[in-house]
Chains A and B, each alone.
Chain A
Amino acid sequence: MEGLVLRKLGRRFGTFDAVRDVNLHIKPGEFVSLLGPSGCGKTTTLRMIAGFIDPNAGSIELDGKVLSDPSGSLPPEKRGMSMIFQSYAIWPNMTVAQNVGFGLKLRKLPGHEVKQRAGEMLEVVRMSHLADRYPSELSGGQQQRVALARAIVIRPAVLLLDEPLSNLDANLREEMRFEIKRMHDEFRITSVYVTHDQAEAMVTSDRIAVMNNGRMEQVDTPYALYTRPKTRFVASFIGRTNFVSGTRTGDIVDFNGFSVPVGQLPEQVTAGPVTASIRPQAMRLSASEPHDGSGIKLPGSVKQSAFLGETWDYVFQASNSDAEFKVAAPPADVHEVGAPAWLEIDPKQIVAIQE
């Protein structure tokens, strides 16, 4: 198989399973994020891809060649990859240009070519004017640009990024997100990006692999991940959501206070108990009973409200059940707390999940 393949990958530290049965196929040129809370195994997975950690189970293959399996691993220096680290790991004893040129020098390129290619790369990350500076004279953002240049200049087979933005302040982080995206669009290097920040993952990635407790929960495009979460963890980790539980009898799914014909749901539902996720954006709040649309309509009242600038966050209390819903509304939709209201739910966005 072309690209990077993780096959039933597992790693155990003592009695703790850091990574269990991880399967992932990253196609050439694809940008995939490993997203999850701290301790979910994403960094361990990345360091296994890099060759710093050996797997206990499964294998890592690149373009059909096995890099790691439990019988042994190709050391990191023979994998032709490069990596961007959380601590930047810019060598303080070398200038910016020397840092960027180091990987080329190791590839035994002639001196003038090292200089030229490092210079071009610094141009790309807009750091040419600082080429002769030492890292201690650079800001965090500049150091991370150097790290980016240093990693990309060797045209690695795979680029690994280990929470590269977590030490930067918020504005810089946003700028660097797009910088990384721009680099990827320009060079199309197969990339694996580890982060716990969903916004970072969504901006940069073609696909996101959500990890939890050492397992891969779901691998999908950012859009699919948000609109079609497969598990409770994914639904709640990516954005906010409402969980409703119900039961399918015949062709009807009965939820608490409302029911939906099976055919209207976006996904197949088996008979028996059902849990579904409904995003706050999949619902609309109105002061009077809406007459248009085919949505599910529930009477009730506004229980809480918070204005976030770009949206309103409401909590809606249904009157025919004890169900509460988090609802997002545009700034112009103003509702008083305690006022009667109607909730309209788009059945196409009621996504059944696995418990």
Chain B
Amino acid sequence: MTSFQSTSVEWSGETPVPQKLSWFQRLQPSSLLWLFLAAILVVLVVAPMSMLLVTSFTDGATGGWTLGNYVEAYGHERHVTALTNTLKMGAAVVVLKLLFGVPLAWACTRTDMPGKNFVRYGVFGAFILPPYLGAVGWILLAGPNTGWINRAWYALSQSSEPLVNVFSFWGLVLVTSIGGFFLVFVFVSTAFEMISSEMEDAANMLGAGPVKTAMKVTFPLVLPAIIGSAMISFLGAIALYGVPALISIPARYPVVVIQLAEFFSFPLRVEVAAAYSIPLLLITMSLLGLQRLVLNRKGYTSISGKGGERRLVKLGKWRWAMFGYCFVVVALAVLMPLIVLLMAAFSKNWTSFSFDGLTLSNFYYVLFQHSSSQKALITSVSVGAVAATAAILLALCIGYIVQRKLLPFSSALAFIAVSPFVIPGIVLAIGFYAAYAFPPLALYGTYTILVLAFVTRFLPIAFTTSAAGIRAIHPEMEDAVRILGGGRLEAVRSVVAPLLKRTLAGGWLLIFVPAAQELSTAIFLVGPTTRVVSVVLLDLSEEGQLETLAALGTLLLLIIVAVVAVGFRYLGRDFMLRRQ
């Protein structure tokens, strides 16, 4: 210690000549990355949405500014009715989805109900089953003349009036609901799992009975999750294309998406479609704003971190009643439509099912004889896989920059990345059409436009998943790489990416499953050579080839189930049943 005497440094002495660093030495690759990512987001989100708005004010014939498109879009009573119908339908769907999702979530997380795993797998099946296949299943079940239920009814009651009719408002609502209550279940059960019994005990200690505790403590704590999932349910319901395409036309209940499809059929009126979709977009945006407002004002941030110990509610003799309710929901959502679908897929003629009539010819036809279905299967799977991969990689880059606050204005990137959340898929498709279908790009009918649109559609899921994953990695992990000489990209490659592997793989599956089934975004963008399975299925339904449709749907399901099974194998069962 003696060698360092307590003398202060003489600053008046030697002054070193500052060695200026070259710009190259100071350069960090992340600065360029920001510009690159911003450019990608412009292509994916900003340009299509701007073009949607611009197109809605453009005169199709002259190219000048006009309000005529809005007059054309909303000047007809029929068109306005479609909008109000859609809102009514959306509201009814929200109620039904909550009735399905919330009790099941409660039963599976907070009670001693038997058969929880059965219910969980059932709910998961509802996620795997594309909505339009559920709709076809219900047409086979509850079609007014030939549906299984009604044929049984006619046989039993000698009545000539159908017992149930899927081609009705309530048919539309039921079939839309069974596809989407999965999200309600996931959101609400996550919230239930965060509530520790101690919070409820505290209320009990102060003299509140079980009912009062449930109403005053438990329910308010899961309310944000319920409101959030109601909001998503509504968005999903009004944007869904497949179910209305199959049901609302025969039900004579016009809704917005069908009207939009009409604008897109001959004669093509993109400008009117754009104008017609703007109010839809405003509705979804204001709903999201409203949700934020409600939740912020109540200060509902108390659910955070790990929940404490949870005691299960003893249901006693109600255990089996609860299970019965769950079973009915799972049966309505998955079992019944899936069984009739499989029966049709293996039948020569679905209306006269017999074990003698079992056949594989529908599958043979779909795979080897039908003009487009084999190719559509390949297209769906590869477009889904490419889009999921691209969305995850892009989200990882953006999430990284945002979480690490690398560059100014990075939160703007985050905002743009999650904004497609409020854009209904079908509206997104119109935006993409408006931006990229015309020369000089002329991307209409290419794989490129499909992949781009799908990436945009699923970017919000990808971003929230990646950002949450990155948040969990301590920044000092990367600082340690850098100070040892590694640079940012090296840190991402050798530390961040390996640590995020599981999260990213889970996110990839969460995107692949809906992307391989996606219909709403695809419907206006596919060309004759790029048709995806969902579009082919819809055509088959119009042609009345329900057996072929069922076989193709079964094949799509098999592929998705196989991919998901691989995911389960490596990631564990829980990764999809939790909100990430």
Whether B25 contacts A77 by the Cβ 8 Å rule is no
> What's the Cα separation between A212 and B387 when bound, in Å?
54
Does A64 lie within 8 Å of B28, measured CB to CB?
Answer: no
In the complex, what residue of chain B is closest to A81 when comparing beta carbons? Answer: B483
Q: Once bound together, how far apart are the Cα atoms of A65 and B20, in whole Å?
A: 9
Closest to A83 in B: B483
User: Shortest distance in angstroms between A227's beta carbon and chain B's nearest beta carbon?
Assistant: 10
Taking CB atoms, residues of chain B closer than 8 Å to A271 are: none
**Residue among B474, B479, B486 facing the most chain A CB atoms (10 A cut-off):** B479
Are the CB atoms of B483 and A79 closer together than 8 Å? yes
**A179 interface residue (CB < 8 Å to B):** no
Please tell me if B19 contacts chain A, counting CB pairs below 8 Å. Answer: yes
Residues of B within 8 A of A79 (CB): 483
Question: Nearest chain A CB to B469's CB is how many angstroms away?
Answer: 13
B contacts with A: majority SS: loop
Chain B, interface size: which category? 35 or more
- Closest residue on chain A to residue B23 by CB atoms: A72
Distance in angstroms between the alpha carbons of A85 and B474 in the assembled complex: 11
Bound-state CA distance A66–B8 (Å) is: 21
Interface string of B479-506 (1 = CB under 8 A from A): 1111111110010001100110000000
Give residues 12-51 of B contacting A (CB, 8 Å). Answer: 14, 16-21, 25-26, 28
Tell me the complex Cα distance, A154–B485, Å.
10
Q: Is the CB of B479 within 8 A of A76?
A: yes
Q: Are B486 and A106 in contact (CB under 8 A)?
A: yes
Q: Mark B138-156, 1 if CB is under 8 A from A, else 0.
A: 0000000000000000000
Q: List the B side residues contacting A286 at CB < 8 Å.
A: none
Q: Bound complex: CA of A51 vs CA of B488, how far in Å?
A: 13
Is B318 part of the binding interface, using a Cβ–Cβ cutoff of 8 Å?
Answer: no
Which residues of A in the span 82-112 have a Cβ within 8 Å of any Cβ on B?
Answer: 82-83, 85-87, 89, 91-93, 102-103, 106-107
Taking a contact as CB atoms closer than 8 A, the residue among A82, A87, A223 that contacts B476 in the complex is: A87
Q: Is the CB of B490 within 8 A of A106?
A: yes
On chain A, which size bracket covers the interface? 35 or more
Is A74's CB within 8 Å of the partner chain B? yes
**Interface status of A11 (Cβ within 8 A of chain B):** no
Chain A neighbourhood of B8, CB < 8 A: 219
Interchain CB contact (< 8 A) of B487 among A5, A75, A206, A228: A75
B539–chain A nearest beta-carbon distance, Å: 48
Q: Which residues of A contact B11 (CB under 8 A)?
A: 7, 23
Q: A102: shortest Cβ distance to chain B, in Å?
A: 6
Query: Provided the pairs A25-B9, A206-B4 are in contact, do residues A93 and B482 lie with their beta carbons within 8 angstroms?
Result: no
A206-B479 contact in complex given A103-B484, A150-B484, C-beta closer than 8 Å: no
A-B contact pairs, 19 of them (CB 8 A): A1-B16, A5-B16, A64-B19, A66-B18, A74-B21, A75-B482, A77-B485, A77-B490, A80-B485, A82-B484, A85-B480, A91-B477, A102-B494, A106-B490, A147-B480, A150-B480, A154-B484, A223-B1, A224-B6
Q: A72-B21, A103-B485 are in contact. List 17 more A-B contacts (CB 8 A).
A: A1-B16, A25-B9, A30-B4, A50-B483, A61-B16, A66-B19, A66-B20, A66-B21, A69-B18, A72-B26, A74-B26, A76-B479, A77-B481, A89-B479, A91-B477, A221-B5, A223-B1
